[in-house]
Every structure is written in C-alpha cells, then in structure tokens.
Amino acid sequence: MKLPSSVLRVLNDIGTPGCLDAAARLASSGHPSGSYTLHLRSSGIGPSQADLLAQAIEQDARVGARLESFSISYNSHVSDAGVARLVAAFPPSLTQVGLVGCGLGDVAGQALLTWVRTAPALRMLCVEDNGFSSAVRAGLQSLGQGRSVLMVVV
C-alpha cells in the first residue's frame, strides 16, 4: 500500500524537528496494510500547520492511506480553529486521538463532541489539560460512558 505521501510532504515542509522525525518514521515503517500513525507531540504545530496537515490527511485518505492514531499533544499554539480543522479531516479509521495540553477551549471541544458521535472506530480520546468549560468537559466525559469500547480522558 502507498505511503501517506501528502502527509510526508507537509511534515517535511513544516520542517520542525518533531515533524522531520515523524516523516522519517513514516517513510521507514512500510505501511503494509495502508494504515499509519501520526504523532507530533511538541512539534511546533500552530493553526496554519494544522490546516496543512488536515488537507494532507484528506488527500491521502482519498488514495487509500488510513490514519489510525493521531496526536498533537503539547502543541499549545495549535488553537481551537486549528483543531476544529483537523477534526473535520479525521477519517472514520481513526482509533486514537491525543490532544493533551493544547490550550484548547470550547470551539475545539464542540468539534470533538460532534465528531466523536460519528467516529465508529474511535477507542481512545485523550484531551486532558485543556481549557474546556464544565459543560463541554461533562459532554466529553459522557461520550466515554455511552460507549463501552471508548476511553475518554478529560
């Protein structure tokens, strides 16, 4: 199966050490099943980089690459808008999402609430250490209570 070439190109274009490391891991992993993981913890991801990544994830999904695990934890400048854009690009194949310590608020929280309800493969959502209101926090926690196979850490 084809490598997620659009994601690889964007990671190299962003060029931060974390993105370059992720690109190297993707390029060397082979992806025999067409699935891949993308972990960009503390990688200098801001809203414009999030938009580029979202576009690349969508492009690669159209040619059969399946994103299964995604994390941009500890990218405190990603913004609500950046995460909302990423969430809109998340494919149904995604099983794990990490957005820990991203400085997120209710805009991102609402986008996650909407998406998780239609994410059949999701098994883990880690969103602790963000600035969600008590209402959004409660909504996120209730997602884990409503699906026995889904663990939500808020």
* Tokens encoding 131: 């600035």
The rounded distance, in Å, linking the Cα atoms of 123 and 27 is 26
The pLDDT, as a whole number, for residue 148 is 84
The pLDDT, as a whole number, for residue 56 is 97
Whether residue 60 contacts residue 4, with contact meaning beta carbons closer than 8 Å, is answered with yes
Q: Which neighbouring-strand residues pair with 125?
A: 97, 152
Per-run averaged pLDDT (10 residues), the chain, 154 residues: 83 97 89 83 97 97 93 97 97 95 97 94 97 96 87 95
Superfamily classification of domain 5-153 = Ribonuclease Inhibitor (3.80.10.10)
Q: In a 10 Å sphere around its CB, with 0-12 CB exposed, 13-18 middle and 19+ buried, how is residue 99 labelled? A: buried
Identify the helix (H) or strand (E) that includes residue 36: strand 35-39
